[in-house]
Chain A
Amino acid sequence: MMRLTRRYRFCASHRLNSADLTEDQNRELYGKCNNPHGHGHDYAVDITVAGTVDEETGLLLRLQDLDSLIGESILREFDHRNLNQDVAEFSGLVPTSENLARVIENRLKEKWPSHFSAGSPVLEKVSLHETKRNRFELRT
């Protein structure tokens, strides 16, 4: 089994505020992240794929294929955007990094079959860094 991990970066703003909580409760729960004007991060997301190496090419996968999938399904829609306003999933979902990692996973899983044929590597892990101090990992 070979695994390959590639890091992608995007910059986005968000505001953490739950419609199910009062104004005071939101301020108490999310603290500075509840600032009504929002705030932003330089996110990094590490995508890990696993599978077998093609004996002829020596490749687990063509990096360009992964780049184009991440580019069109994640970076193009997330980079330099306001997650709450610009990303459909967050119209009714708080854009915590836990939820953001899950949204990334869902988007990749949905598009995976159209980018990679059967027998190709599988998506194994999504690891989202909100800052250099916070990391959120999902084994898919």
Chain B
Amino acid sequence: MLITRRVEFSASHVCSLPTLSEAENWALYGPAANPHGHGHNYVLEVSLKGEPDAVTGMVFDLKRLKEILNQTVVEPMDHRFLNAEVAPFDRVVPTAENLAREIWNRLQPYFAAGSARLSNVRLFETEDVFVDYAGGAAE
């Protein structure tokens, strides 16, 4: 069974590479390369996979999941400028893809043991664009 919890955070970012010119960054990232930054209301959906516990009837305690998400994602990222305030985005471009991988990596240790496993991270950058990441080597 899959259980999914949704949280939201609002943050600003700039997508550009220091090795590229402004024109090259614009060609690659579009308006997201604006050096002054811009922001999104990110929506994060985290899915866990497991079987309901015979006693509690739960795959995972959703209150606990909420605490983990708040502690690892919402508190460090909400109302922040990702490039300046949230590592590793001082050196890694904070694209939606990289943000989803970073969130996966932050959450993974909480679900390495135990019956509920991290199954999918879905990150909406806007209502019309989202990425899904389910882990995987060499990515």
Contact = CB atoms under 8 A, between A and B. Distances in A.
A57 B95 contact: yes
Interface residues on A, range: 10 to 19
B139 A4 contact: no
Interface stretch (B62-70, B97-105, B108-116): B97-105
A94 interface: no
B136 to A, nearest CB: 5
A39 interface: no
A4 B128 contact: no
Interface residues of B, number: 25
A137 to B, nearest CB: 15
Given A1-B139, A52-B139, A60 B130 contact: no
Contacts of B87: none
Interface in A1-37: 1-8
A46 B71 CA distance: 32
Interface in B14-50: 15, 17, 28-30
Contacts of A3: 131-133
Contacts of B131: 2-5, 60
B86 interface: no
A139 to B, nearest CB: 14
Interface in B111-139: 127-134, 136, 138-139
B92 interface: yes
A8 B127 CA distance: 11
B129 A6 contact: yes
Contacts of A60: 97, 131
Contacts of B59: none
B133 A2 contact: yes
A133 B126 CA distance: 21
Nearest to A50: B132
B17 A4 contact: no
B3 interface: no
A3 B130 CA distance: 8
A138 interface: no
A62 interface: yes
Point out which of A3, A53, A58 has the most chain B C-beta atoms below 10 A from its C-beta.
Answer: A58
Nearest to B120: A3
B122 to A, nearest CB: 9
Interface of B: 15, 17, 28-30, 92-98, 100-101, 127-134, 136, 138-139
8 contacts: A1-B139, A2-B133, A3-B132, A5-B131, A7-B127, A53-B98, A59-B29, A64-B30
Interface of A: 1-8, 52-53, 56-60, 62-64
